Structure 1
Amino acid sequence: MMGRFSQRSYEKEIMDDLEFEGPVLDQSLKELRTINKFLGGNKVTTSGLEYIVKKFPQDCYSIADIGCGGGDMIRVMSDWAKKKNHTCKFIGIDANPNTIEFARERLKDLDGVALKTENVFDESFEEDQVDIITCTLFTHHFTDDELIRLFGSFKKKAKLGIIINDLHRHRVAYFSIKLLTKIFSKSPMVQNDGPLSVLRGFSRNDLNKTLSLSGIKNAKIKWFWAFRWQVVGLIL
């Protein structure tokens, strides 16, 4: 990778505005759900869960989805748990209260789901431990220094493991999502944030370095189509 793809961009996305709300937010979250499903991103998270539960079998798992957005991945994981006969309790955490309200409405039919507005950098974040932490298309929103701090918090909060599902910074991914959002998206936020999020994504070296500095050892990093990284870090 050369030029603009050689290093992560720190340019802010529209979604980074925690006051963002209204019909544009609703439309954007719906489109992001469709894009994630279409590009196969859901499997990155569920296969990570499969690995951890096989490694650490127990009767019930508490799973915190950090940066849960509209709750799409919580529903995906809930469907996965039912299909695999696992008992799971989910906690969705997001710093945007408007997004949490959107998720609360969308997930009201599911049992065993709690939703809370919380900033991951608040001291209270580490207080209530869970078995597994998941985050999908979330970590690219932070600088490398912020990620070192964030992963350190994840390590303290999770008892069993951490699953990260995020973007591979690559020119093909960038120009593909730029074209897709231009043709199919009605959301200015998605049209702006989609390509920008790829520029804020990661190389394998980026992930290795940040995980090492965070004290997360022996993490598995695996590439998935379409241009996704899966990171599974075990705590025990």
Structure 2
Amino acid sequence: MDNFMLSGNELDLLLNDLKTVNSYLGGRALTLNALKKLLTQCNRKTEITIMDIGCGDGEMLRLCAEYGQQKGFIFKLIGVDANQNIITIAQEKSSAYKNIEYYCCEVSSKQFENLEFDIALCTLFLHHIPESQIPLLLKKICSQSKVGVIINDLHRSWFAFQLFKVFSFFFIRTKIAKHDGLVSVARAFKRKDLEDQQDRIKGVTSTMQWKWAFRWQWILQKTN
């Protein structure tokens, strides 16, 4: 997924594999449950802007849109991804959702800096970032966020690595998804890794929980 040139049938199959992973291994529910916690700090009578960083085909934003409609929230939903081909797919899949918009840009770009949002979602995004760049990136996202940041990422462990091997044998179709899944687990985080990062971020309260299947739910809520 770090290959921004992926396109066509190969990309479609890969996105379907990622959907399978998030469906069976709890990724979508973890992010949505964290969002519900931050929404308690928001006024549902005013527009709430939610940014999904590394949005993929926009599945998480569509789930947010449906949740917001059910609960009476006024959401403005923005997805950003560095792969224009993925953005095109996201736009097609989200054509019926009038409150979702997408941008092809990187978080280091001026375009991203000009985007305003209340809550940022980072689902399986952080482990793609070089370790040395993570502190500055988190500070940047937190400073732009008005309410908080939700991080849903992987727990690095031998057992998680072996579990994904078994899971991918039965449920994953593409070689790239099988390979990238194992690479992602190897790049993932121990609790101390995230705790070391949180100590560098000022102006937030941090809540971190381990969730099945080998995921971290990390909520950074603004205090000012």
Fold shared per TM-score above 0.5: yes
2:50 and 2:120 in contact (8 A); partners too: yes
**Structure with the greater relative contact order (CA < 8 A, sep ≥ 6): 1 or 2?**
1
Aligned equivalent of 2:181, options 186, 190, 194: 194
Gaps of 5+ in 2: none
Code of the aligned partner of 2:38: I
1:24 and 1:189 in contact (8 A); partners too: no
Aligned to 1:175: 162
1:45 and 1:230 in contact (8 A); partners too: yes
Shift of 1:183: 2.5
Aligned to 2:144: 157
Code of the aligned partner of 2:3: D
Aligned to 1:11: none
For residues 93 and 144 of structure 2, the distance between their equivalents in structure 1, rounded to whole angstroms, comes to 26
Code of the aligned partner of 1:224: K
Shift of 1:216: 5.6
Matched, 1:28 2:51: no
Aligned to 1:82: 69
2:152 and 2:218 in contact (8 A); partners too: yes
Aligned to 2:85: 98
Q: What is the 5 A alignment of 1:201-220?
A: 201-215=188-202, 217-220=204-207
For residues 120 and 204 of structure 1, the distance between their equivalents in structure 2, rounded to whole angstroms, comes to 24
1:144 and 1:210 in contact (8 A); partners too: no
For residues 113 and 124 of structure 1, the distance between their equivalents in structure 2, rounded to whole angstroms, comes to 17
Shift of 1:169: 0.8
Matched, 1:50 2:50: no
Paired residue secondary structure (1:70)? coil
Q: TM-score, normalised by structure 1?
A: 0.89
Gaps of 5+ in 1: 1-14
Change over 3 Å in CA distance of 1:216–1:205 after alignment to 2:
farther
Shift of 1:84: 2.2
For residues 8 and 52 of structure 2, the distance between their equivalents in structure 1, rounded to whole angstroms, comes to 23
For residues 144 and 209 of structure 2, the distance between their equivalents in structure 1, rounded to whole angstroms, comes to 23
Please give the root-mean-square deviation of Cα atoms over the aligned residues, in Å: 1.4
Q: What is the 5 A alignment of 1:108-187?
A: 108-187=95-174
Runs of 4+ aligned residues of structure 1 deviating over 4 Å after TM superposition are none
Code of the aligned partner of 2:9: P
Q: What is the 5 A alignment of 1:55-74?
A: 55-59=41-45, 60-74=47-61
153-162 vs 91-100, which moves further: 153-162
1:81 and 1:88 in contact (8 A); partners too: yes
1:68 and 1:93 in contact (8 A); partners too: yes
2:57 and 2:89 in contact (8 A); partners too: yes
Code of the aligned partner of 1:168: H
Shift of 1:200: 0.9
Shift of 1:231: 0.9
2:52 and 2:121 in contact (8 A); partners too: yes
For residues 141 and 44 of structure 2, the distance between their equivalents in structure 1, rounded to whole angstroms, comes to 21
2:20 and 2:171 in contact (8 A); partners too: no
189-198 vs 211-220, which moves further: 211-220
% of aligned pairs identical? 33
